[in-house]
Structures are given as C-alpha cells and as structure tokens.
Amino acid sequence: MTPQRVFITGASSGIGAALAARYAAEGATLGLLARRRDALDALIAGLPHPERHRAYAVDVRDHAAIAAAARDFLAHAGGIDVVLANAGVSAGTLTEYAEDLPVFDTIIATNLIATAATFAPFIATMKAQRTPARLVGIGSVAGIRGLPGAEAYSASKAAVISYCESLRLEMRPYGIKVVTLCPGYIDTPMTRVNSYPMPFLMPAERFAAAALRKIAGGSSYAVIPWQMGLVAKLLRLLPNCLYDL
Ligand code: NDP
C-alpha cells in the first residue's frame, strides 16, 4: 500500500494513539494533535521513523490553531490522505440540574464543532489533489441509541453522524470519501473512568485494525465492534442506513 499522510486529533491516548500506531506501522507520515505535548512526544518516540511525524499541542476548540497545524502538516507531508477528527470528551450530564448545562457547551464544542474545524483546512487541498482522500468522523453507538445520564455526549455524537452524512454527499463529486466510525465500548481512559464495571470492552488496538480497513474501503458507516450492529439489527433498534454487517 502507498504510504499515507494522516492527520489525527486526540492522538495522545486511547483510540487516537492506537490509530497512530497502526498507521505508522504501515509507513504513514503522521500529524498528531492533542493538548498534552508530553504524551504526543512520548507516543512519537515509540513509533517507527519518529523523525517523520509532527506533534501539535493544540486545544481543538481553538480553530485558528488547528488551521495553523494543518498548514504546517500539509507543507511537511506534501499533501493529505486521511484526516481523523477523533478528539472527544465524555461527561455525565443530567438536564434536570442547571449546573450541568455549561458542560453541554464543552462537549458540543469538542465533539461536534471541532470535527468541522479539523476537516475544514484540509478540504481545498483534497479537492485539488483529486486522490481518494478520506475525512473520518467519530460518532458512537451512544449517538445512535442514546445513553441515559450522558445526554450531551449522545447528542453531540448523533450530530457528528448527521454532519458527516451531509458532508459525505457534498464531497462525493470530488472523490473525497467521508467515513463515520461508530465505536461501541472500547478499552481506553475514557471508558476506564466509569465507576461501574463495563464488560466486553474491545482493546483499542483491535478497534484500530478494524477501523483502518473500513477507512481504506471507504465505508460510509462502520459500527465497531460489528457485533453491536448485529444485536441492534436483530432488535430492530437501528435505522437501516446505519447497519454495517
Ligand atoms: P480518550 O479519553 O482516551 O482520548 C481522548 C483524546 O481526545 C485524548 O487524546 C485527548 O487528548 C483528546 N482531547 C480531548 N479534549 C481535547 C481538546 N479540547 N483538544 C484537543 N484534544 C482533546 O478517549 P477515547 O480514545 O476513548 O475516545 C476517542 C474518540 O472515540 C472520542 O471522540 C470518543 O467520544 C469516541 N468514542 C469512544 C468510545 C469508547 O468506548 N472508548 C465509544 C464511542 C466513541 P488531551 O487530553 O491530550 O488533549
């Protein structure tokens, strides 16, 4: 496979770090973005060809800083093949408590608006390249089914799914594929903070391997682990367009 130029947000831990490791093993040149520079530097030091990769210590709510990182990476890598808007936050929110409402702003800004802010600075180059580039959004099974006690998070992920579907239709004439990954219960720091036990967590490395196949194949949607899609289908819980079986 031709070595790829890949930009990943939220690369300092969990799913983003696992995706970075998998792409690096395939020979990719990476642009890795998160707030914690020390974690990004440590990750890059352990990857093959660390000198190829760039770290950007940026908060995804700072759209100008994302655009600057994108410009630097495009100049460094000479183009772009895959952009993964993976950075995300989760927090319990209960609408009945007024003090939880400001948390909605943080979650929507980080999960939804930053997805658009991450894609935006790469689109002109992708159109000009006319190579089969990919924009990848991270939804969630919570965005399809809902998750009690995490209303802001579920709403943000439902919005990411809807946003990516509209963008997919808009980008189709340019040969740019928009892929929405919908993880369900992956073993990462995000799921480990839960105070209750979460059975059937999938290792982030296995998720990343499946995700790379779906991204390369240009799937519109992928529910990973796929068994969650099967269960949902059997129970008739998902709308047709979201099956990935
Ligand atoms: P982690 O908490 O392990 O990783 C989240 C990443 O996002 C970190 O690298 C963090 O880096 C980064 N991040 C968070 N806020 C910001 C910010 N404001 N600016 C820049 N970077 C930020 O979670 P996961 O790996 O589990 O989650 C990755 C994605 O997958 C998220 O979008 C999540 O919603 C989604 N997902 C996860 C599921 C799971 O079961 N784990 C299920 C469904 C979806 P830093 O702190 O250094 O900024």
* φ/ψ (deg, to 5) at 4: -110, 160
156 lines ligand 1 (CB under 6 A): no
Question: How far apart are the CA of 130 and the centre of ligand 1, in A?
Answer: 30
Whether 164 shows a pLDDT value over 90: the answer reads yes
Pick one of 3.40.50.720, 2.170.120.12, 3.30.365.10, 3.40.50.10860 as the CATH number of 5-242. 3.40.50.720
The pLDDT of residue 240: 45
Ligand 1 lined by 115 (C-beta under 6 Å): no
* Residue-level pLDDT at 102: 85
CA of 112 to the centre of ligand 1 (A): 12
Long-range contacts of 38-46 (CB under 8 A, 24+ apart): 39/12, 39/13, 40/11, 40/12, 43/11, 43/12, 43/17, 46/21
Model confidence at 208: pLDDT above 50 = yes
- For residue 200, the tally of other CB atoms under 10 A from its CB is 10
| Residue-wise pLDDT tens digits, 70-121 | 999 999 999 999 999 999 999 877 777 777 788 899 999 999 999 999 999 9
Amino acid, res. 13: S
Domain positions in the chain:
5-242
Query: Does ligand 1 have an atom closer than 6 angstroms to the CB of 191?
Result: yes
Closest CA to 157 of 102, 213, 225, 87: 87
Mean pLDDT of the chain: 90
**Ligand 1, residues 9, 13, 202, 207: which to mutate, most atoms within 8 A of Cβ?**
13
* Sequence letter at residue 11: A
Closest CA to 114 of 68, 57, 156, 172: 156
Whether the CB of 60 sits within 6 Å of ligand 1: yes
ipTM for this model: 0.99
Instruction: Over range 210-230, report the average pLDDT.
Output: 88
Residue 95 CA to ligand 1 center (angstroms) comes to 23
118 C-beta closer than 6 A to ligand 1: no
Gap from CA of 232 to ligand 1 centroid (Å): 24
Q: Above 90 in pLDDT, residue 172?
A: yes
pLDDT of 146 reads: 83
Active site members: 153
